[in-house]
Amino acid sequence: MKFSKPRILALSLLAAAVAAAALVPAELLAAQSKKVKKAAKAVVAKKAPGIDYTGEFVNFGQWKEVQQFLDDMVSKHGFERKELDAMLQQVRYVDAAVQLVKPAPPGKPKNWHAYSSRFIEPIRINAGVAFWNQHRDTLARAESQYGVPAEVIVGILGVETIYGRDTGRFRVMDVLTTLAFAYPLAPNREARMAFFRSELEATLLYARSTGSDPFALLGSYAGAVGLPQFMPGNIAKYAVDFDGDGKVDLRNSPGDAIGSVAAFLVGHGWQREQAGPLVYTARVSPSRAWEAYVNQGLEAKYRREDLSTAGVVTTSSLPEGMLYGLVDLQNGSDPTEYWVGTPNFYAITQYNRSYFYAMSVVELGRAVSLSRKEL
């Protein structure tokens, strides 16, 4: 089926999203430098190119795959078919979402320093200090109840939305429908479409259970919602009413966001009893026997003796009785950084399946904590 796409600068979309959320590069310990502050002001002053959040109407109801999805919603969950058909008439195709989920061009090297500089910067650090100070009691209660340090929760909320400053302006129904049935060509296209269909299903169930309008739910270009950017399926599984007002509101309640992040991490393997750092700096030997431990999944599954025998040396001693994993952070043409990750570090990777993401959470949380102590 042919249809026209909105007039957008597709290649500029990703840059626009990064410019809006990432801001200015800076090393963690250079946060207070005049040069960084001056650069931050310059970036903030720039206006990002427009993004088409509304999209255009496409008659998804004529698509065979959509018809099958609606049939499943009726048979599995008892939805009224007429209501679903009417709802589908409101859905719009959002080409911006399609462009933004496209993978990076092949051959472009990963660069940890470039990635992390988008998050470990003055705007997020200062906002994190203010957020922590304002919600210190709630963060302390979450740490006590779930065993997740405030530093980690603050790191996640800072990386995700700068503490609620940018929770997304796309209608979740639009982007999830678009990605569930019109995902761009990619090696994992079928798996990704299946994922977004499950999230669309979760959105409809969530709206029905809460008596809310599914089209009132706003989020990111991938359908993530609120301060913690939960996908709809995770709202049902892990979101909690942590402020005690009788409802879960991840978009407007920092308390619910704080408790829900902690609950998510516990549900993905966070260990309360784990003491010490989340990651340990490491060196690797020229023998390269350690290469067998790289890219072995987002899971801590090796004994410290295994890593040591393979030539991985940490700058401080690893606690006994725990499993670990070898984390490689590529830096483009510069040397790769190596770290040894704990089970709790790998719990963070379940929030976003990336070493870069998890390390940014760790570093931002640490930077915010240090800044609070300096005040």
Q: CA geometry: angle at 135 spanning 261 and 372, to 5°? A: 100
CA dihedral 264, 191, 118, 341 (to 10 degrees): 60
Dist. CA 81–CA 74, nearest whole Å: 6
Catalytic residue among 121, 160, 199, 201: 160
Taking a C-beta distance cutoff of 8 angstroms, is the pair 362, 155 a contact? Answer: yes
Q: Is 160 a catalytic residue?
A: yes
φ, ψ for residue 53 (rounded to 5)? Answer: -85, -20
Query: Hey, CA dihedral for 98, 100, 105, 109, is it positive or negative?
Result: negative
Taking a C-beta distance cutoff of 8 angstroms, is the pair 340, 280 a contact? Answer: yes
φ, ψ for residue 337 (rounded to 5)? Answer: -90, 145
Find the helix or strand (DSSP H, E) in which 178 lies.
helix 172-181
Exposure pattern of 277-294 as b/e (b: 16+ CB <10 Å)? bbbbebebeeeeebeebe
Query: Hey, CA dihedral for 17, 19, 23, 24, is it positive or negative?
Result: positive
Dist. CA 339–CA 329, nearest whole Å: 8
Q: Which residues are catalytic?
A: 160
